[in-house]
Amino acid sequence: MDQPLLPTDASLAALHWRYATKKFDASKKIPADLWAKFEQALVLSPSSYGLQQYKFVVVTDAALKEKLKPASYGQSQITDCSHLVVFCARTDVTDANVDHYLERICQVRGTDLTHLKEGFGKVIKGDVVHGPRHALIKEWCARQVYIALGQLMFFAALSSVDICPMEGFENDKYDEILGLTAQGYRATVLAAVGHRADDDGAASLPKVRMPAEELLDRR
């Protein structure tokens, strides 16, 4: 077996270190070269079938952040963070979306498109576009962005960068301000990314988790 890339205790230390940052230091910005790595992490997020039916709006413009703040119950993280990531899930998945993905597979792997459409393509479409999952397609797409959120929170912690994940915002207003509806997306969840303020009291609060014996059911 391979050696771990990072000792597991160090991975756990990162998970202990992170917390939902309540107050960012607005003067600390994430350098462009580091942010480029964050974007790579977002692109590398796993998703069901690898279909990636989402996009990530990354907001750094101060005026746009000011516009989004009242749609986020005035929370200061929106304007004080360095980069605001809006996780946008597709509101529908069509045959064309699947075909676009199949074409990408061919491009990367040199697979034969006809063969792929007959096999993998039919499986995906039969499930997601024409099958039982389609009735809940918005939710299925929304679930996938939470994988990306979970991964990004961990990635940030490993990089000693802070994140506040946020569901507390008005999705409709975000969709309107960012013009998402016409593009077929829905603002689903946010991650404010940056660096904690020295006086963020939340940083030193003991982490609360339910006891392991309540959360784990070993069979």
36 burial class (0-12, 13-18, 19+ CB within 10 angstroms)?
exposed
Contact 78, 65 (CB under 8 A): yes
- Binding letters toward a second copy, positions 50-69, x by CB under 8 A: x-x-xxxxxxxx--x-----
Question: Nearer to a second copy by C-beta: 4 or 118?
Answer: 4
What is the Cα–Cα distance from 76 to 24, expressed in whole angstroms?
8
Q: Which residues are CB-contacts of 143 (< 8 A; sequence separation ≥ 6)? A: none
Task: Looking at residues 103 to 162 of the shown chain, list those that interact with a second copy (rule: CB under 8 A).
Answer: 104-105, 108-109, 136, 139, 142-144, 146-151, 153-155, 157-160
Rule CB under 8 A: is residue 24 a binding residue for a second copy? Answer: no
Q: Is 74 in the site for a second copy (CB under 8 A)?
A: no
Q: Is 207 in the site for a second copy (CB under 8 A)?
A: yes
CB of 75 to a second copy, least distance (A): 13
In degrees rounded to 5, what are phi and psi of residue 54? -160, 170
Q: Kindly state the smallest distance separating residue 56's Cβ from a second copy, in Å.
A: 6
Is 42 an interacting residue with respect to a second copy (CB under 8 A)? yes
- Please, which residue, 28 or 76, has the CB nearer to a second copy? 28
Q: Which is nearer to a second copy, 50 or 119 (CB)?
A: 50
Footprint of a second copy on residues 175-194 (CB under 8 A)? 178, 189
Q: Name the residue nearer to a second copy (CB basis): 60 or 76.
A: 60
The first and second tokens of residue 190, run together, are 């946010």
Sign of the alpha-carbon torsion through 66, 71, 73, 76 = negative
- Whole-number minimum distance, CB 169 to a second copy, in Å? 12
Return the ∠ at Cα 22 (arms to 89 and 167), rounded to 5°: 25
Instruction: Judge contact between 210 and 39, C-beta under 8 A.
Output: no
Q: At what angle do helices 8-17 and 137-158 cross, to 10 degrees?
A: 110
Q: How many residues bind a second copy (CB under 8 A)?
A: 84
Q: Which of residues 158-177 bind a second copy (CB under 8 A)?
A: 158-160, 165, 167
